[in-house]
Amino acid sequence: MKTKILLVDDEDDLEVLFKQIFRRQIQANQYEFMYARDGQEALAVIEQFPDIDVVLSDIHMPVMDGLTLLAKLSETNPIIRTVMVTAYGDMSNIRTAMNRGAFDFVTKPVDFKDLEVTIEKTIRYVNQLRETAELKAVDEMKTRFFANITHELRTPLSLIISPVDKLLETTDLPVSYQQQLSTVRRNARQLLRLINQLLDINKLEAQQMDLVTEVGDLPGFVAQIVDLFRPSTDIKQLNLAFTTDMPPGNYLFDAGKWEKILYNLLSNAIKFTETGGITIRLSQTPTAARLAVADTGIGIPPDKLPHIFNRFYQVDNSRIRTYEGTGIGLALVHELTLRLGGTITVQSYLNEPTGLQGTHFVLEIPVQRVNNYKEAQPVVTPTTSMDLLLPAKATVAESQSVDTTPLILVVEDNAELREFMIAELATTFRVRSAANGYEGWVLAKEELPDIIISDLMMPRMDGYALIEQLKADPATDHIAIILLTASLEQDSRLKGLSYGADEYLTKPFHVGELRLRLRNLLNRQQKLREQYRQQLAQPEPSTPLEAVQDQFLRRLYSLVEQRLDDSSLSVEWLADQLAMSRKTLYTKVNSLIQLSPNELIRQYRLRKAIDLLRAGHNASETAYMVGFESPSYFTKVFREFYQQTPTDYLKT
Ligand code: ATP
Ligand code: MG
């Protein structure tokens, strides 16, 4: 390969001299010389020929001297190396040049044999630099390619999951279809989780993942996640124990990251353990929470232990591995822990004379106790979706039970943002989507989602109009709404909230924040549901049913009350009165109070029975007054519900 050498000197005859001396190399096309008379000219030449490898530069020159040229070059060109050609004994300038990054120096009068050796040495070094730079560029390209591919996979995947979710909700779907569709869904979700993990790890490495701090009951949160794994440990007949001495109460912590850490540690522990069990212990140090996850599984050999936090590392990397996986889990756990300012250590025991067996992870993650909240904040509900954790065999049971995973409707006209949200949410929730307010409204009426995330500016029907429609319809007025606004304008925010949006997020938003808001809304809904159920179930005169906060329930109760003694009161009649379909009534009642309409009627009757018994009616009178066909049936149902017969109840 030809080496390009730039000679920078204000002596004219030097050019001729070089041509003579290096005639052989020039003819053999080994060297190509270029010339400049001062630093300024040199920079211009280099700009034109950026592939110059070596600069031979004088120090004292008019316009721009060699030292200035050197300083400029080291700023602009990371590859070119400069050899100073200077007067013998000019030690202080030589020192300055070397400090400014000159590669070497030769002194005048030039010893050309020595110069040739120096040039060759410089070329070797420059070639090394070029190679490293190329490798780095290739590496960067690979990383970018990888990130792009991963990103691109999310859209088609979310477009598989979303319709499958919908198909699975078809009533009367043959069981064999249900099973196969569940398999599709489980695997697609798993793939999506994997992809999201890969993206997470890229983000963490590029230091682009933000911290999200939530307030909540940390020990309760960990306990909930551990419980999600119980079906998996049950199937493998493993013990699963969680202990903590951390006082319950409010802590500041990043729930999303804790969840990912726990998910990976626990799924590993279960995957690599065949007998015995898994213990999780959460304790407190003065500044941190200490989380220990220990299993009695196959263990990790000491020489493999240092590598397990590396990306894609797996102890068993044979093609016919016994255990599934890609080796990303622990790398993510490691990065997340560091991001949270924590530490992680691991110890593993196998073939110990003591008989000790298994792997122990210990993490210390800073968390803060908060005392200045008056009431304890509800436990943040983990968002990990259950069916990811179950082995394939459990599909039948899974598909037969009603899917209680929250349903989110995304209404957004920007296709890219819409798919992004679906991909983010589909690992955790059931997701539907619509491309404008009108479609959103139609879907919302059909499916009654738990939460709608809606854009503001959309064709056909904008966000405000959508909210207005939803709030005007008793079937949909309970649905929580998160508004996405592009503008920071106080105006649109206030307007949205005044129309009845529950939350708003400003674009571009942070996925962690979106998840947090979803979780908070779902928590609030769950708390309300429980409150309404309690109110209906518990015969406390202090909480009369007529005073129930929710308008729809109030109306429903008063309808039942109208025909309390009528045993033929039916769900159809209720639906008719409320001008909604049976299916809508069912979903609405279920989402408000987690009961079926029939169950609600029955509980209402039982609750009223208590009032009547208290007012002095005997059991059989009461039975007829609250619409039971026979006193004996009334007694049976009453006892099932209150664990006492009506007569016993009166006595206490
Ligand atoms: P993935 O988490 O991506 O599904 P994986 O579980 O194989 O795949 P990691 O969670 O990163 O990957 O774990 C890396 C390797 O460390 C595993 O393949 C396994 O060999 C070993 N390992 C991790 N946890 C345990 C454990 N609790 N017991 C024994 N070996 C473990
Ligand atoms: Mg793993």
pLDDT of residue 388: 44
Q: Which two tokens stand for residue 372?
A: 């200045």
pLDDT of residue 488: 63
Task: Let me know whether 195 and 294 are in one domain.
Answer: no
Task: Let me know whether 54 and 145 are in one domain.
Answer: no
Task: Let me know whether 259 and 377 are in one domain.
Answer: yes
Look at residues 577, 579, 572 and name the one whose alpha carbon lies nearest to residue 597: 572
Task: Let me know whether 297 and 367 are in one domain.
Answer: yes
Look at residues 86, 33, 44 and name the one whose alpha carbon lies nearest to residue 61: 86
Nearest ligand 1 atom to the CA of 194 is 3
Q: Which two tokens stand for residue 224?
A: 């909930």
CA 445 to chain centroid: 29
Task: Let me know whether 291 and 346 are in one domain.
Answer: yes
CB 236 within 8 A of CB 267: no
Q: Which two tokens stand for residue 174?
A: 């043959």
> Is residue 514 a part of any domain in this protein?
no
Write phi, then psi, for 133 (nearest 5 degrees): -65, -40
What residues pair up with 482 in beta bridges, in sequence order?
453, 503
Cα–Cα distance measured from residue 645 to residue 51, given in angstroms and rounded to the nearest whole number: 96
> For the chain, how far is it from start to end, CA to CA, in angstroms?
102
Nearest ligand 1 atom to the CA of 330 is 11
Q: What angle is formed at CA 311 by the lines to CA 309 and CA 314, rounded to 5 degrees?
A: 75
- Residue 315 Cα distances to 93, 265, 304, 321, 514, angstroms: 57, 16, 6, 10, 37
**Which ligand has the shortest distance to the CA of 307?**
1
> Is residue 489 a part of any domain in this protein?
yes
pLDDT of residue 119: 93
- Point out the domain boundary residue: 205, 222, 239: 205
Q: Which two tokens stand for residue 217?
A: 């009951």
Q: Which residue has the tokens 């993510």?
A: 332
Q: 268 alpha carbon to ligand 1 midpoint, in Å? A: 6
Q: What is the CATH number of the domain that holds 596?
A: 1.10.10.60
Write phi, then psi, for 368 (nearest 5 degrees): -125, 135
Task: Let me know whether 225 and 358 are in one domain.
Answer: yes
* Atom 5, ligand 1: residue with shortest CA distance: 327
Q: 309 alpha carbon to ligand 1 midpoint, in Å? A: 9
Identify the residues whose C-beta falls under 6 Å from ligand 1.
Answer: 264, 268-269, 272, 295, 297-300, 308, 313-316, 325-331, 359
Q: 293 alpha carbon to ligand 1 midpoint, in Å? A: 14
Task: Let me know whether 358 and 409 are in one domain.
Answer: no
Look at residues 27, 29, 37 and name the one whose alpha carbon lies nearest to residue 3: 29
Nearest ligand 1 atom to the CA of 327 is 12
Cα–Cα distance measured from residue 426 to residue 408, given in angstroms and rounded to the nearest whole number: 9
pLDDT of residue 351: 85
| Best of 311, 314, 348 for a ligand 1 pocket test (most atoms within 8 Å of beta carbon) | 314
CB 105 within 8 A of CB 91: no
Q: 324 alpha carbon to ligand 1 midpoint, in Å? A: 9
Look at residues 195, 217, 182 and name the one whose alpha carbon lies nearest to residue 289: 217
pLDDT of residue 393: 37
pLDDT of residue 396: 35
> Is residue 74 a part of any domain in this protein?
yes
pLDDT of residue 291: 97
Nearest ligand 1 atom to the CA of 314 is 18
SS3 at position 516? helix
Q: What angle is formed at CA 311 by the lines to CA 295 and CA 238, rounded to 5 degrees?
A: 20
Look at residues 503, 459, 458, 504 and name the one whose alpha carbon lies nearest to residue 485: 504
- Residue 492 Cα distances to 434, 487, 499, 510, angstroms: 22, 8, 10, 20
Cα–Cα distance measured from residue 453 to residue 361, given in angstroms and rounded to the nearest whole number: 39
> Is residue 423 a part of any domain in this protein?
yes
Cα–Cα distance measured from residue 177 to residue 170, given in angstroms and rounded to the nearest whole number: 11
| Best of 308, 326, 356, 360 for a ligand 1 pocket test (most atoms within 8 Å of beta carbon) | 308
**Which ligand has the shortest distance to the CA of 360?**
1
Cα–Cα distance measured from residue 167 to residue 175, given in angstroms and rounded to the nearest whole number: 12
- Point out the domain boundary residue: 41, 76, 110: 110
Q: 515 alpha carbon to ligand 1 midpoint, in Å? A: 27
**Which ligand has the shortest distance to the CA of 276?**
1
> Is residue 590 a part of any domain in this protein?
yes
* Atom 10, ligand 1: residue with shortest CA distance: 329
| Best of 280, 330, 350, 359 for a ligand 1 pocket test (most atoms within 8 Å of beta carbon) | 330
> Is residue 572 a part of any domain in this protein?
yes
Cα–Cα distance measured from residue 456 to residue 9, given in angstroms and rounded to the nearest whole number: 67
Task: Let me know whether 236 and 384 are in one domain.
Answer: yes
Task: Let me know whether 315 and 375 are in one domain.
Answer: yes
> Is residue 174 a part of any domain in this protein?
yes
**Which ligand has the shortest distance to the CA of 191?**
1
Q: What is the CATH number of the domain that holds 501?
A: 3.40.50.2300
Q: Which residue has the tokens 């989602």?
A: 449
- Point out the domain boundary residue: 152, 177, 205: 205
- Domain count for the chain, please give it: 5
As a residue count, the chain comes to 652
pLDDT of residue 70: 92
Task: Let me know whether 245 and 354 are in one domain.
Answer: yes
> Is residue 516 a part of any domain in this protein?
no
Q: Classify strands 250-253 and 368-369 as parallel, antiparallel or unpaired.
A: antiparallel
Q: Give the helix ranges, DSSP H, for 236-349.
A: 255-271, 329-339
* Atom 23, ligand 1: residue with shortest CA distance: 268
Q: 401 alpha carbon to ligand 2 midpoint, in Å? A: 28
Task: Let me know whether 488 and 545 are in one domain.
Answer: no
Q: What is the CATH number of the domain that holds 295?
A: 3.30.565.10
DSSP 8-state symbol, 306: G
SS3 at position 115? helix
Show the domain range for 380.
Answer: 214-388
Task: Let me know whether 367 and 410 are in one domain.
Answer: no
pLDDT along the chain (652 residues), means of 10: 90 87 92 93 92 92 91 87 88 90 90 91 93 89 81 82 83 84 85 86 81 84 88 88 90 89 94 94 93 95 92 79 82 95 95 91 93 57 48 37 79 88 87 92 91 90 91 89 78 79 82 85 87 80 72 88 84 87 87 86 86 84 85 85 82 73
